[in-house]
Structure 1
Amino acid sequence: MELSKVQAPPVWHTPEGIQVSFNVVPLYHALGLHFSTFFSFLSRSTTIMLPKWDIEVFFDSIPKQIVHHPRFKTVDLGSVKAISCSAAHIAPQLAQQLRTRFPDVGKIDGAYGLSEVTAAVSIVPVPGMLNGRAKNKPGSVGIIFPGVEVRIVRPDGSLAGPNEVGELFVRGAGSALGYRGNDKATRETFVDGWVRTGDHMRIDEDGVLFFEDRAKDTLKVSGTQVSPLEIETTLLAHPDKLILDVTVAGVTGGRTADERIPRAWVVLSPAGAVLGGKEV
């Protein structure tokens, strides 16, 4: 309803004049289920699904109508009018790469959520929503959905303040009751009516939510908390643009048997490949 107040209905240049959506998310994820079923009740549309993920079939399915696949730079993507990335957070650098390749996509629509709460927790607002009170801030995962409560919790269990990073707890009518057949995981995740997301977040003074890191991915190295996401962001932001993509995880090799140290796996850019992996 809020969207219809601030933006005109889109025009779809398809044979039937309706939106054609390409769902690449499995139906056993809450996002894939909602996208392929419930969203269809909001407006007339056609949804295309792949029986399983296949990058070649994906590109072949856009006759006229990602980023690091060789065909991404050559296939005609002119028919793509909107891109939505929800559930997990999309890095700003990746979002920018997508925008540069899709000429008719002004922004990457997004939301944050998880299957344990059935649907989205937050949504990136369209300018003008809520009479202009909803803020769309770069790098954020948006504003909290109606009917959803969240809180940011410090490691000691106390509530964090504005712009202070802590673990995100969520509750709402759509929250699950637990994991079937896994009492241990249920006790760890579902606490006093709240769902522990395992994500480090912060909320600013305007009520905008920012993703910082996965709590379970954080490494403790020589007594210091080390964020794999922060390392990834730093490598991708290198001014020489030697790396296209990177993932960082903890591996054995620390001072103690249980200490993990960060290791990065990278995809070199053409400039990085010329320089060589050893030099990079």
Structure 2
Amino acid sequence: MPEIRPTAAAGELPPVPDHLTIPQFMLDSGYVDTLRPKRPGHGPFLIDDASGRKVSLDELRDRTQALANVLSSVYSIGEEDVVLVFSRNHLDYPVVLWATHRLGGIVSPANPDFNHSELEYQLKATQAKLLIIHPEAVEAATTAAKTFGLPTDRILVLDVDNVKPPKSLVNINSLIKKGSEMKPVPERILKPGEGKTKLALLSFSSGTTGRPKAVAIPHTSLIANVLQVATHSRLQDESIKWEDRRYRPGDVCIGVLPLYHIYGLVFNLHFMLYCSIDLVIVPKFNFEAMLKSVVRHRITHLIIVPPQAILLCKHPAMKKYKLDTVRTIMTGAAPLSDEVNQMLFKLFPDAHIGQGYGMTETCTVVSLWPITRKRGQSGSAGELIPGVIARVLKPDGTLGGYNEIGELMVKVPSAALAYYNNPQATKETFIDGWVRTGDEVRITPDGELWIVDRLKEIMKVRGFQVAPSELEGTLLDHPDVSDVCVVGIPDDYSGEVPLAFVVLSADAAARVKKTPAALEDARASIINHIRDNKIAYKHLAGGVEFMESIPKTASGKLLRRVLRDKAKELRKGSTTTRAKL
């Protein structure tokens, strides 16, 4: 049975420690390895974008222990208890994660732009015992917590300058101050091999279909992925000239990717700190503000998604800023077009520029552009990184070799264990140690991975997963909708955006027949229904099209591919509504 492995040039993965928690590995494990770059002093630092405040690893270690003391003694957080973090990027985001891990607890990061119903769904799915929030999220958090049955005294709020939360909520800084005066609580010590099964994260993904599911990620998976990328990147290879090394101690990376997302959490936070690279924490993305941050902090590394790359190429504000410090640009979460790649290459002629591929289910990175080339090949997702074994499952069920097209299946040391409390979805995706990605690919003999198409139904909007079935379920709650199918349509900025094909209910159809103008009222009402119930990137930016009936198979399955083709025909020569970041 053909198995495709990384080329020898990708490097050999060293033994992955399976007895360490994530904070032990990052802060104080004493794990001696040849990969981690050494840096004198207290670096790397987390840096607050607005104020410039620096937090060293020593301070992060102290704050983590202090918060762990309080979470244990006051809130009784311990083995397998879930702490849900509902916040924008913040200097104390890793402190909350690592303090929970110190106690044997599990962290579930949530999108801070969720409305109360979306947050309530995640609270129920994880059965969270504690909710830690950004002060801007108070209204949604308290509403969701009340419905879920979580008392207000189980909601803690992160400290943000000039934003005052209600006095009824306890702030994290006061707890850390209290905890620093307490006797340190014992940390969770893992037995050899336990790190492979001891849960650290419940990160949400739509998988290959359906509503978002909690991906159960153990400690060793995140540690393994950091070491995989470090090996691929040849961090300590002295045969590479200093100016040609991709990740160097003392470099400065922008932390604009949301830390609740697996890409931001693993690669942007943990890997960059592992590389002894300073990380500038940006709470919320604004393009021109990001350009100012690049200049102010002398940013060397941009870890971004395709819509941000497009802005780098096309936004008029680029003319106002000199970005000569930038030496590495990585994009992920969705493919980047050849046109944008070429524009980036021209704008940053001396920078390392390339793409990567990964999933929440693989605890992020599966492939990256080769360290031996500054520029990744346009359209390529890079080469398989050390530790990855790939299969290409052809439509006829046989396994393909090089340059044959089929669904990508991977076996990786960073794989998640399962979908939490969802055995059916687990059975469909996690198969005998392999992860079915739902992506149609081909792999060339030089180890390069090329994404051909997505077999799964999930759309990628600005790098975020959107499940058509989730939107369809919401739309069927609208009184004017009797049947619906949602598809993604191409969009230059967002990659793709949702479009809904709708069959009107009998009452709505009668109104339209009597008053044709009522059709546009129905369209607006349907679009607003999603806007009122879903986060912004799930809005129907592709619009609504009305049909007499939705095409289906004899067994009743939606013929989504037929409607995707129809949507492309309808949109030829027109421009979709562009959602804004």
Give the TM-score normalised by structure 1: 0.70
1:144 Cα deviation after fit: 1.4
- Structure 1 residue 95 and structure 2 residue 327: aligned? no
| 3-state secondary structure, aligned to 1:58 | helix
- Structure 1 residue 62 and structure 2 residue 365: aligned? no
- Structure 1 residue 215 and structure 2 residue 510: aligned? no
Which residue number in structure 2 is paired with residue 174 of structure 1?
Answer: 414
- Structure 1 residue 120 and structure 2 residue 365: aligned? yes
- Structure 1 residue 48 and structure 2 residue 280: aligned? yes
The verdict on how the C-alpha distance between 1:218 and 1:69 changes in structure 2, with shifts beyond 3 A counting, is same
- Structure 1 residue 192 and structure 2 residue 438: aligned? no
Task: State the distance in 1 between where 2:435 and 2:242 align.
Answer: 36
Task: State the distance in 1 between where 2:242 and 2:355 align.
Answer: 18
Task: State the distance in 2 between where 1:177 and 1:244 align.
Answer: 34
Which residue number in structure 2 is paired with residue 261 of structure 1?
Answer: 564
Per-residue CA distance 1:128-164 (angstroms, 9 max, x = gap): 79xxxxx965432222122111111113321123212
Residue among 254, 257, 271 paired with 1:38: 271
AA partner of residue 336 (structure 2)? I
1:248 Cα deviation after fit: 6.7
CA contact (8 A) 2:369 2:383 kept: yes
1:51 Cα deviation after fit: 1.5
1:122 Cα deviation after fit: 1.4
Task: State the distance in 1 between where 2:370 and 2:446 align.
Answer: 13
Task: State the distance in 2 between where 1:97 and 1:52 align.
Answer: 25
CA contact (8 A) 2:439 2:455 kept: yes
Structure having the higher strand fraction is 1
Which residue number in structure 2 is paired with residue 224 of structure 1?
Answer: none
Task: State the distance in 1 between where 2:438 and 2:359 align.
Answer: 11
Task: State the distance in 2 between where 1:23 and 1:78 align.
Answer: 18
Which residue number in structure 2 is paired with residue 268 of structure 1?
Answer: none
1:77 Cα deviation after fit: 2.0
Specify which structure has the bigger relative contact order, considering alpha-carbon pairs within 8 angstroms and separated by 6 or more residues.
2
Percent of pairs identical after alignment?
33
Task: State the distance in 2 between where 1:189 and 1:256 align.
Answer: 27
The verdict on how the C-alpha distance between 1:94 and 1:181 changes in structure 2, with shifts beyond 3 A counting, is farther
* Structure with max Cα Rg: 2
Which residue number in structure 1 is paired with residue 331 of structure 2?
Answer: 85
The verdict on how the C-alpha distance between 1:128 and 1:37 changes in structure 2, with shifts beyond 3 A counting, is closer
Task: State the distance in 2 between where 1:246 and 1:41 align.
Answer: 31
AA partner of residue 149 (structure 1)? I
| 3-state secondary structure, aligned to 1:95 | helix
CA contact (8 A) 2:335 2:379 kept: no
| 3-state secondary structure, aligned to 2:439 | strand
How many equivalent residue pairs?
240
Task: State the distance in 1 between where 2:319 and 2:347 align.
Answer: 7
The verdict on how the C-alpha distance between 1:26 and 1:170 changes in structure 2, with shifts beyond 3 A counting, is same
Residue among 154, 161, 164 paired with 2:404: 164
CA contact (8 A) 2:440 2:451 kept: yes
Pairwise CA RMSD: 3.7
Task: State the distance in 2 between where 1:5 and 1:137 align.
Answer: 25
Task: State the distance in 1 between where 2:495 and 2:414 align.
Answer: 34
1:109 Cα deviation after fit: 3.4
1:6 Cα deviation after fit: 5.1
AA partner of residue 247 (structure 1)? E
Task: State the distance in 2 between where 1:72 and 1:264 align.
Answer: 32
CA contact (8 A) 1:163 1:202 kept: yes
Could you tell me which runs of 5 or more consecutive residues in structure 2 were left unpaired when the two chains were aligned. Answer: 1-230, 299-307, 460-486, 502-546, 553-557, 576-581
1:211 Cα deviation after fit: 1.3
The verdict on how the C-alpha distance between 1:182 and 1:52 changes in structure 2, with shifts beyond 3 A counting, is farther
Could you tell me which runs of 5 or more consecutive residues in structure 1 were left unpaired when the two chains were aligned. Answer: 130-134, 220-227, 236-242, 266-271
Per-residue CA distance 1:87-111 (angstroms, 9 max, x = gap): 4433322222222233442x41332
Task: State the distance in 2 between where 1:244 and 1:176 align.
Answer: 31
CA contact (8 A) 1:170 1:195 kept: yes
Structure having the higher helix fraction is 2
1:213 Cα deviation after fit: 1.7
Per-residue CA distance 1:70-129 (angstroms, 9 max, x = gap): 323443322222211234433322222222233442x41332211211231112113279
Give the TM-score normalised by structure 2: 0.36
Give matches, 1:108-147, under 5 Å: 108-127=353-372, 137-147=377-387
Task: State the distance in 2 between where 1:11 and 1:148 align.
Answer: 25
